[in-house]
């Protein structure tokens, strides 16, 4: 390529799990708008905790949206993973150069990566050979301050777009602490902490006397490592965990090959 030839603008697919009207996706669109051609395909309603669900038994709808000024956008009746799939096949008619998901209202560190619709959308993109990043802010509230999160999202997307030797399956789980920007100490590459929820279902009775349950639980960190996302966030770092869709437990595979004779 000659020095004067204009580099083609990268196509950036934006999605989330809180729905197309959530403030978090607005912040993400603002953060990446200047970095390429942005197209939004996001759920038409909140889809938190949907994990890697896909819609098999029901039809899907797509609707053009004016939620973002000057940005092509669509809402989809399906899950976050459906959004990525349908965006590639029916809207972009090609793979985008990168897919970003979020900014999620609430943490997706440690085991949350597995329940999170935000991260499942990013992981789906990486399965489809589209480098991807999921962003989450450690603040669940609807009026959370996304300014620092937006800045870090922009920095990390730029880093990814300028990387020459990019793994096409690269997928990053980025969490941003809910503190003022000046208190954030920097960005840390981490591993997923072994931390989980200790479930406790809240048992109630409906007006007809029939029992029903709400899923609740306490978050417990069993992992004392200083190389984890939970540690980084507690110490005011932005945590970046590279994630993968090969779930094979290779260590256990080796053990079983030796020990289990059938």
Beta bridge partners of 13: 39, 99
Using DSSP's 3-state secondary structure scheme, residue 161 falls into helix
Tokens of 146: 């996304």
Q: Is 235 annotated as a binding residue?
A: no
CA distances to 68, 155, 156, 166 from 159, in Å: 24, 6, 5, 11
User: Minimal CA–CA distance to 31: which of 174, 242, 139?
Assistant: 174
Nearer to a copy of itself, 8 or 235 (CB): 235
Minimal distance in Å, beta carbon 93 to a copy of itself?
Answer: 11
Minimal distance in Å, beta carbon 21 to a copy of itself?
Answer: 16
Minimal distance in Å, beta carbon 141 to a copy of itself?
Answer: 16
Minimal distance in Å, beta carbon 4 to a copy of itself?
Answer: 29
Nearer to a copy of itself, 6 or 208 (CB): 208
Nearer to a copy of itself, 9 or 166 (CB): 166
Nearer to a copy of itself, 70 or 214 (CB): 214
Minimal distance in Å, beta carbon 86 to a copy of itself?
Answer: 6
What is the rounded CA–CA span in Å between residue 142 and residue 162? 33
Neighbours of 183 (CB within 10 A): 9
Minimal distance in Å, beta carbon 108 to a copy of itself?
Answer: 11
Residue 156 in contact with residue 133, Cβ under 8 Å?
A: yes
Helix (H) or strand (E) holding 11: strand 11-15
Nearer to a copy of itself, 9 or 222 (CB): 222
Residue 124 in contact with residue 252, Cβ under 8 Å?
A: no
Q: Is 48 annotated as a binding residue?
A: yes
Nearer to a copy of itself, 179 or 194 (CB): 194
Q: Is 108 annotated as a binding residue?
A: no
Q: Is 104 annotated as a binding residue?
A: yes
What torsion, rounded to 10 degrees, do the Cα atoms 35, 45, 54, 33 define? 0
Tokens of 44: 């038409």
Binding residues for a divalent metal cation: 17-18, 48, 104
């Amino acid at each position: 390529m000659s020095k004067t030839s204009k580099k083609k603008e990268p196509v950036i697919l934006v999605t989330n799990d809180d729905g197309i009207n959530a403030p978090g996706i607005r912040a993400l669109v603002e953060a990446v708008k200047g970095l390429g051609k942005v197209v939004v395909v996001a759920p038409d309603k909140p889809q938190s905790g949907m994990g890697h669900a896909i819609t098999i038994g029901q039809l899907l709808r797509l609707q053009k949206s004016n939620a973002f000024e000057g940005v092509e956008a669509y809402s989809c009746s399906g899950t976050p993973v459906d959004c990525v799939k349908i965006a590639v096949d029916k809207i972009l008619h090609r793979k985008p150069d990168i897919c970003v998901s979020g900014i999620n209202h609430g943490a997706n560190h440690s085991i949350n990566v597995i329940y999170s619709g935000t991260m499942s959308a990013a992981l789906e993109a990486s399965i489809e050979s589209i480098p991807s990043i999921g962003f989450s802010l450690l603040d669940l509230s609807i009026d959370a301050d996304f300014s620092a999160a937006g800045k870090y999202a922009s920095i990390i997307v730029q880093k990814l777009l300028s990387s020459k030797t990019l793994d096409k399956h690269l997928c990053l789980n980025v969490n941003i602490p809910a503190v003022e920007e000046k208190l954030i100490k920097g960005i840390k590459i981490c591993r997923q902490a072994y931390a989980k929820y200790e479930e406790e279902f809240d048992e109630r009775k409906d007006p007809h006397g029939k029992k029903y349950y709400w899923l609740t639980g306490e978050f417990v960190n069993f992992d004392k490592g200083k190389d984890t996302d939970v540690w980084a966030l507690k110490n005011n770092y932005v945590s970046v965990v590279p994630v993968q869709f090969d779930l094979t437990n290779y260590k256990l595979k080796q053990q079983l090959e030796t020990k289990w004779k059938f």
